[in-house]
Structure 1
Amino acid sequence: MSPFYNGINVDVRRGVRQGDTISPELFIATLQNVMRTLDWDNMGLKIDGRQLHHLRCADDIVLITPNISQAERMLADFDKACGKIGLRLNLTRAMFMRNRLVSYAPFKLNGTNISERSSYVCLGREVDMISHLAPELSRRKRAAWGAFKSIEDVVGRTKNT
C-alpha cells in the first residue's frame, strides 16, 4: 500500500483489524486522499447550487447520481483509485438504491452485478427512498428486545437486590 501517493511503500502483511483504535482514523484518512484524486466536478446532482456526488460516513460511501450509467462510471473510477493504493472494494457488500425517477437497468462493476436494495442501515438508521418511519421503528424495537434478551438472566438475578 502506498498512502498519499508519496512514494513511500508500506508493507502490509495483515490488515488493521476491526476494533483496533487506529482502524477508523487510518481508513478515513486514506479514503479522504482517494476521494481527492477523483474528477467528479460534473457528476452527481446539483443541490442548492452545489454539486453533490457522494456522502461518506465511516466506511460507508453513498454515490449520488441521476442515472445508473453515471453511477457505474463513478464506481469504476472509485475502484480504480482504490486499486492504485492497494484497496479493493467488497462487491458482496455493495448495493444500490434508486427512486421512481430512475428506470431499471442492471448495475455492474467489472462484470459483477451490484444488488439493488429498497433500504439500508447507515449509522444505525434505516434509509429508504420513501422515508417511512414504521419499518425503522419496528427494527429498533426488535434490536432493543434482542439486547434485553441477551442480558435478561442478569436482570432477573439482580432485580430484587
Structure 2
Amino acid sequence: MRNGLVPYGPFTFNGTNFFECSSSVYLGRKTNVMNEFSPELNRRKRTAWVAFESNEDVVKRTKNTQLRSYLFDSTVLSTLTYASETWSLRKQDEKSLSFIEHAVERTTLVSRFSQVKDGIRSSDLRQRSKIKDAVLYAKQLKIMWSGHVLPMNDNRWTTAVSDWISRDLGISNVLQEEHQPNGQSSSRKA
C-alpha cells in the first residue's frame, strides 16, 4: 500500500521483492488505501462464523439457553467486535454489524425458522436469551479504552493515535502553538 508521496514501483528489502497491494492486515485489522470499513466487517463476519462453528456441536447438544448465550458472548461476540476500540462506526456499519450478529444469534439459539413462523422479533429474542448487543458492546469497549488512555500523559502511541486535530486548523497553527489563545487544546480526544 502506498499514498501519493511514494513513487510507484516494486521495492526490494533484504533481497525480497515487494509489490503494491490495495489492502493489508495489520494488528488484526484489514486496512486499505480507500479507508473503507466494509472489508473489515466482512473479515469480522467470517471470524464470527468460524468461532460459532468451533462450538456448534456443543450448542446443538445443550438445551440450556443461558449456556448458549454465554458461549455466544464469550466466543462469537468477542471475535465479532475484536479491535472495535479503534472503529468509527457509521449508521450503515452499525446495521451491518447488527445483521451479522442477528444471523449468528438465531443459529446459536436454534430459532431460525420458528422465529419467523411464531412472529418473534430479534429484540424479543435477545431479551429472553440475555445476549449482549454487538453495536452497544463495541461502543462500550471504545469508551473503556478511552478511559484507559485518558490518564496517560507521556508520549505513547496510544495517546498520539487517540488525539485528532480539526481539519480547519492550519498545520502551521498546530505546530507553533500547542494550545489555543483561550486555553483550550487545539487537539481533541477521539
TM-score, scaled relative to structure 2: 0.31
- Structure number having the greater strand percentage: 1
- Structure number having the greater helix percentage: 2
Larger Rg: 2
